[in-house]
Structure 1
């Protein structure tokens, strides 16, 4: 993966819940934005309750699991490790309470989805630019 990529949680787990509910790590950084449901995330051995309008920033190589149950939904932005897009060195759990910030984060992720779906010229650069905005 040479550029940022956006997926739903189901796409990321490849349609199998066990892929996300078992402890594992990723070669890419991940920013997970939960938009429906609630559940449990275990990140670096710390168990946390997660729900709507929660974001998890998970650096590449960090052990984690996520269980939102059958009704949970969210988006994942995968960012290549070692690239120009900065991500936190430590895992972060953010509870975004401000409606303006929630809308802004959702808008960036949805713009990334549209860009990825359209597959226009310079898509890589556009996705990386949006991912840079996302990490700010």
Structure 2
């Protein structure tokens, strides 16, 4: 019936939206990890430079790294706050309370399955492209 079809569409949209929220959080956490690693690298570089001779080029490089470090710290702080906020909002929602019938549950599962298959297919395509590019690179090197 038309009402069931409309409700199924709403459930599918809801599932896709929820998945996007979760994936955004995962991506933000990965970016945060990379920023923190970069911050550690900059800090290490600064320590090395501070133990070297005190010349103009060294002072200039230290100033550049300190500016970069301040920027990374601000980005990390901002990203940590955004992740925390998104995580709290995510936990406060009663996500699955919107699914109230067996039909809606089936639609949700079907939608999740299709999204998973699409993601797996895309990942496989990317992997194959990487292998193909590597093959071409090796082939060119030996020709």
TM (norm. structure 2) is: 0.24
Return the structure number with greater helix share: 2
Return the structure number with greater strand share: 1
TM (norm. structure 1) is: 0.25
Bigger relative contact order (CA 8 A; separation at least 6) = 2
